[in-house]
A and B are shown apart, each in its own frame.
Chain A
Amino acid sequence: MLAKTKNKVLSGKRLSKEDAIKLFETDDIFTLGKLASYAARKKNGNKAYFIKNIHINPTNICVNRCKFCAFSRSKGEEGAYEMTIDEIIHKLRAMSYELQPPYSEVHIVGGLHPDWPFEYYLEMISRIKKYFPKICIKAFTATEIDYFSRISGKGIVEILTELKRHGLDTMPGGGAEIFDIGVRNQLCPEKLSGEGWLAVMKAAHKAGIKTNATMLYGHVENYGQRVDHLLRLRELQDKTKGFQAFIPLAYHPKNNEIGGTYSSGIDDLKTIAVSRLVLDNFSHIKAYWIMLGEKLSQVALLFGADDIDGTIIDEKVTHSAGALSSKGLTAGELINMIKKAGKVPVERDSFYRKLKVKSQKRDVNE
């Protein structure tokens, strides 16, 4: 059944929408996994990347209140919080004492705060950069960038340029959800549209800012809408080459308005594999273990993923929605997971540059 698609993959031909839907529908997860592994190996050899990073969520107060979001609160609501820049610096400092050797990236995303001016974010970035010049700052989703533009009256390009000038290094890929307008209306009617998201990313890439891309799946969308999402990303990537990694995010059903169920492990693996095969112009596919659970992320390394993200400390967004993964994995645990999958662990920086290949005897049971 997959013979035609298989031939296309092996001869390096681009997959069509129909091919991709067929791959999602197949019961033959083994052939799918092997093809995706083949594609992954062509891009990254036997390597699997991880990074030591820290998540900062400066506030959970958000004017949007997307229906699937368990993290956000309204101002004044119980559990709402906001961090001052001093608190952020303090936390990063405390973390760099705790973590030996230290982290190389800080990942900052948060709610759309009703009162904070754009200048607050600029100051946040420049002060972090000043205190920690060697740490890469990966901050703000396209949704936030669009919001900054609206509250400040500045254009997207200007916002991005100013953030970059103040020290922003890369951008995460959040807020993409599913581009399809019907799905978006059900999921997050107030959020930046799919076209808007792609436009921000295009501008970021033009401004020389590398970004990631995501897809939130397993809620109300169908395979066709997933594939449409992937194809739109592939199209933009053809033009800009600015995406580093694609990260499929499994939907979490707890504590939100949409409800529903967790995606199955098989669906997670299929989604990773199809993404690897369709996004032939993306260098990396990330199995984000916070979303998938550490066990499934490891298996995803055999289904086309080449990155399992990092030792994330204090992740709030997904855990508010009932993530069953642990809140932080040590580098030793990540290295062990990767090695047991038969891959070579590579600690990377924000730009996928190799920091050092770990082979500490103590960490592995040979």
Chain B
Amino acid sequence: MNKHKRITKKEGLALLKNSDLLGLGEWADGIRKGLHPEKTVTFIVDRNINYTNICINKCTFCAFWRDKEDRDAYVLNKDELYKKIQETIALGGTQILMQGGLHPDFDIEYYIDLLRSIKSRFAINVHGFSPPEICYIADKSDLTIKETLNILKAAGLDSIPGGGAEILSDRVREILSPKKIKSSSWLKVMENAHMLGMRTTATMMFGSVEKPEDIIEHLEAIRNLQDRTGGFTAFIPWTFQPGNTELGSKGQRVKGSKEGTVPDLRTERSEVVEPGLSPHAATAIEYLRVLALSRLYLDNIENIQASWVTQGLKIAGVALRFGANDFGSTMIEENVVAAAGVSYRVSMEDIIRTIKNTGFKAAQRDTYYNILKEF
């Protein structure tokens, strides 16, 4: 394989299926060094604000959604929202990640008001509304995706998170999130956003029901779009977390359980899995392999994020030698993953220390990867 040429789908598949991980890691590490020779690993101080957990989509892997009638269903009121943003700014935060469920009663007016009221009070980057939300807003208000994005941008939306991508293969999406938008819609939202000058990230959630071919299909779709638009700032692969979800423990979704009281369903899990679904979460080795391959495959995306939230700090540190150059967000609040029982409470100091102990300089960045502060 020519290491200076773009990796083809076939080559990517071969690397994913059987390659020596250390060799792959070394290759990805070399590419990372070439792209980021300054030996700095960045992170962003931001807060995840989930404006509502009421969602009509009910994706099988999601532990976060509630029905409107559930006793712990909520819509965040403005005072709470402002308080959260104030706290974020006080902690040196520069961005809020605004995401939420697909609420049956909201239309675009709700989102316009939400954005305007934030932007009129705070100088903070709003990184918000992943493609499923954008499509839903468009749908509810009879607008095109482009119109929707234009309106939201005018109201103050700065950039768009890459969530809801899971695996961009409709076969997989049919199992994981049958009501969620199709791959083509996800890509269309991103393409339109990029055309309007908005930067976005791209994610991939793997380790559920996908096949190696699906992962390659995903990487290929992202690379193709990036060739056309150049709008992706970063790629973030992360692993499906079996836990408090329908997919991980069929029929045992425990509603109303709070963080810390989530029952451990590991033991039952192996008995009640979906056909074709691994009873085990993707292991660290699979994670590092996909991460390294992402670094190699996505030669047109500058940044690859390590996912400390799903991997823990030690593996996230190791990931810095397998292609990653960014630690993502300090996640002042992480509801979605915490609800699935994987909650690594990690402070900024822990992140900085991990980066330094792994042999890199640590720096806080903004949404667009400009360095704000070195540590």
Interface residues of A (CB under 8 A from B): 27, 29-30, 33-34, 37, 261-269, 292-293, 295-296, 298-299, 302, 324, 330, 332-333, 336-337, 340-342, 362-365
Residue of A nearest to B18 (CB): A342
Tell me if A265 and B314 are in contact (CB < 8 A).
yes
- Complex interface residues of chain B between 16 and 52 (CB less than 8 A to chain A): 21-23, 25-26, 29
Tell me if A265 and B315 are in contact (CB < 8 A).
yes
Residue of B nearest to A266 (CB): B358
- Complex interface residues of chain B between 340 and 375 (CB less than 8 A to chain A): 344, 353-354, 357-359
Write 14 A-B pairs (CB below 8 A) sorted by A numbering: A29-B321, A261-B353, A262-B313, A264-B357, A264-B358, A266-B321, A299-B284, A299-B285, A299-B288, A302-B21, A302-B22, A340-B286, A365-B276, A365-B277
Tell me if A37 and B22 are in contact (CB < 8 A).
yes
Give chain A's interface secondary structure class: helix
Q: What are the 7 tightest A-B residue pairs by CB atom distance, in nearest-first order? A: A365-B278, A265-B314, A295-B284, A264-B357, A30-B26, A265-B318, A340-B283
Residue of A nearest to B270 (CB): A332
Interface residues of B (CB under 8 A from A): 21-23, 25-26, 29, 266-267, 270, 276-280, 283-286, 288, 311-318, 321, 344, 353-354, 357-359
Q: Which residues of B contact A37 (CB under 8 A)?
A: 22
Give chain B's interface secondary structure class: helix
Q: Which residues of A contact B267 (CB under 8 A)?
A: 330
Tell me if B285 and A264 are in contact (CB < 8 A).
no
Residue of B nearest to A303 (CB): B22
Q: How distant is the Cα of A324 from the Cα of B285 in the complex, in angstroms?
A: 18
Tell me if B279 and A332 are in contact (CB < 8 A).
yes
Q: Which residues of B contact A30 (CB under 8 A)?
A: 22-23, 25-26, 29
Max chain A C-beta neighbours (<10 A), residue from B286, B314, B316:
B314
Q: How distant is the Cα of A362 from the Cα of B288 in the complex, in angstroms?
A: 24
Residue of A nearest to B264 (CB): A326
Tell me if A333 and B357 are in contact (CB < 8 A).
no
Tell me if B321 and A362 are in contact (CB < 8 A).
no
Tell me if B317 and A33 are in contact (CB < 8 A).
no
Tell me if B279 and A363 are in contact (CB < 8 A).
yes
Q: How distant is the Cα of A333 from the Cα of B269 in the complex, in angstroms?
A: 11
Tell me if A295 and B283 are in contact (CB < 8 A).
yes
Q: Which residues of B contact A341 (CB under 8 A)?
A: 283, 285
Q: Which residues of B contact A298 (CB under 8 A)?
A: 283-285
Q: Which residues of A contact B311 (CB under 8 A)?
A: 295
Residue of B nearest to A340 (CB): B283
Given contacts A30-B29, A264-B314, 6 further A-B pairs with CB under 8 A are A30-B22, A264-B357, A265-B317, A292-B314, A295-B311, A341-B283
Q: Which residues of A contact B29 (CB under 8 A)?
A: 30
Q: Which residues of A contact B312 (CB under 8 A)?
A: 293, 295, 324
Q: Which residues of A contact B285 (CB under 8 A)?
A: 298-299, 302, 340-342
Tell me if A269 and B318 are in contact (CB < 8 A).
yes
Tell me if A337 and B283 are in contact (CB < 8 A).
yes
Least CB distance from B248 to A in Å reads 13
Q: How distant is the Cα of A292 from the Cα of B312 in the complex, in angstroms?
A: 11
Q: Contact check: which of B23, B314, B353, B358 meets A295 at CB < 8 Å?
A: B314
Least CB distance from A365 to B in Å reads 3
Tell me if B314 and A262 are in contact (CB < 8 A).
yes
Q: How distant is the Cα of A302 from the Cα of B359 in the complex, in angstroms?
A: 21
Q: Contact check: which of B270, B277, B315, B359 meets A299 at CB < 8 Å?
A: B315
Q: How distant is the Cα of A298 from the Cα of B267 in the complex, in angstroms?
A: 20
Q: How distant is the Cα of A30 from the Cα of B288 in the complex, in angstroms?
A: 13
Given contacts A264-B358, A365-B278, contact A296 B313 (CB under 8 A): no
Q: Which residues of A contact B315 (CB under 8 A)?
A: 265, 293, 295-296, 299
Q: Which residues of A contact B317 (CB under 8 A)?
A: 264-266
Least CB distance from B200 to A in Å reads 29
Q: How distant is the Cα of A342 from the Cα of B19 in the complex, in angstroms?
A: 10
Q: Which residues of A contact B314 (CB under 8 A)?
A: 262, 264-265, 268, 292-293, 295-296
Q: Which residues of A contact B26 (CB under 8 A)?
A: 30
Tell me if A333 and B358 are in contact (CB < 8 A).
no
Tell me if A365 and B284 are in contact (CB < 8 A).
no
Q: Which residues of B contact A364 (CB under 8 A)?
A: 278
Q: Which residues of A contact B286 (CB under 8 A)?
A: 340
Tell me if A296 and B22 are in contact (CB < 8 A).
no
Least CB distance from B242 to A in Å reads 11
Q: Which residues of A contact B357 (CB under 8 A)?
A: 261, 263-264, 266-267
Q: Which residues of B contact A337 (CB under 8 A)?
A: 283
Q: How distant is the Cα of A296 from the Cα of B29 in the complex, in angstroms?
A: 19
Least CB distance from A95 to B in Å reads 15
Tell me if A296 and B321 are in contact (CB < 8 A).
no
Q: How distant is the Cα of A298 from the Cα of B274 in the complex, in angstroms?
A: 26
Residue of A nearest to B357 (CB): A264
Q: Which residues of B contact A33 (CB under 8 A)?
A: 22
Q: Which residues of B contact A269 (CB under 8 A)?
A: 318
Tell me if B22 and A34 are in contact (CB < 8 A).
yes
Q: Which residues of A contact B23 (CB under 8 A)?
A: 30
Least CB distance from B312 to A in Å reads 6
Residue of A nearest to B344 (CB): A324
Q: Which residues of A contact B270 (CB under 8 A)?
A: 332, 362-363
Q: Which residues of A contact B321 (CB under 8 A)?
A: 29, 266
Tell me if B318 and A296 are in contact (CB < 8 A).
yes
Q: How distant is the Cα of A336 from the Cα of B286 in the complex, in angstroms?
A: 11
Tell me if B318 and A336 are in contact (CB < 8 A).
no
Q: How distant is the Cα of A262 from the Cα of B351 in the complex, in angstroms?
A: 12
Q: How distant is the Cα of A336 from the Cα of B316 in the complex, in angstroms?
A: 21
Least CB distance from B366 to A in Å reads 26
Q: How distant is the Cα of A262 from the Cα of B349 in the complex, in angstroms?
A: 12
Least CB distance from B310 to A in Å reads 10
Least CB distance from B170 to A in Å reads 21
Q: How distant is the Cα of A342 from the Cα of B311 in the complex, in angstroms?
A: 20
Least CB distance from B214 to A in Å reads 14
Least CB distance from B136 to A in Å reads 32
Q: How distant is the Cα of A324 from the Cα of B280 in the complex, in angstroms?
A: 19
Q: Which residues of A contact B344 (CB under 8 A)?
A: 324
Given contacts A293-B314, A295-B314, A330-B267, contact A264 B22 (CB under 8 A): no
